[in-house]
Amino acid sequence: ALEVARTCVAAAVGGGDAARALGVNDDELHKTLGAAFEMLMEVVESAPSALVKANIGAIAQVSLELAHGAGADADVRAHGFHALTALAAYKCKLVAKNGELLEHLVGLGAKATGEWDEADDDDDDESDESNVRSLGCALLDTLGAAISSAPLMGHVDTALQRLTAEGADAHTWCAACTVLGMVAEGIVDLLAEKKTGAPRLAAYVQLLCRGCLHADAHVRAAAALGLGEFARH
């Protein structure tokens, strides 16, 4: 399944020319890709942790490549997101111990939550399940619920620093606010500590309050959601 997934991902990310080079059309490629990732998810969900641990690098690599694949349609990239979300949900202990993987997952979720097109707002036919922003939110939400505070917090801060460094456009602001909202549940324990948590919580809330005043409606909505999640947890 991994070898099939690798071949299909390379073709899917490469676009139509890459698929034709394999002698298949887009429909055949998508069906094969979907079947391969269904098998990977079955392994992630049901196989013993030892088996998943032995292959976690390969599973994560092929899934991350597809999820990041800007040359592929959102419904194709969704296979990668779903596999990574399942990995975080069903093998959370393995993910928590793998700092590099956890950093990649938080970074992917953060990047995805800043992806939207103005046409998305008016596209009634687009499925929420295959919308890249929604896929990123689902991944971050799963990480927040499944991964304990200590391993998660540092990677959240790293993602926020990278977002801030990239500039303060609406997509960046939306991504930063959404990250905080989605992982609030997972980092609440550390934020409750007076010495180290209070200053960090104050900085997070300040960022979200600034987001509520942003000119873009996407940013305001993400910031309001983030504040609500911190208040709830």
Instruction: Convert the pLDDT of each residue in 110-158 to its tens digit.
Output: 999 988 765 555 554 445 555 899 999 999 999 999 988 888 888 999 8
Average pLDDT, the chain: 85
What's the rounded Cα separation, in Å, for the pair 117 and 94?
A: 35
What is the C-alpha separation between 203 and 224, in angstroms, rounded?
15
Report the alpha-carbon distance of residue 147 to residue 92 in Å, rounded.
6
Please answer whether residues 67 and 108 qualify as being in contact, where contact means their C-beta atoms are separated by less than 8 angstroms: yes
| pTM (2 d.p.) | 0.86
d(CA 142, CA 138): 6
Please state the rounded mean pLDDT for residues 196-210: 91
Q: Helix (H, G, I), strand (E, B), or coil: what is residue 72?
A: coil
Cα(167)–Cα(23) distance, rounded to whole angstroms? 43
* pLDDT-above-90 percentage for the chain: 52
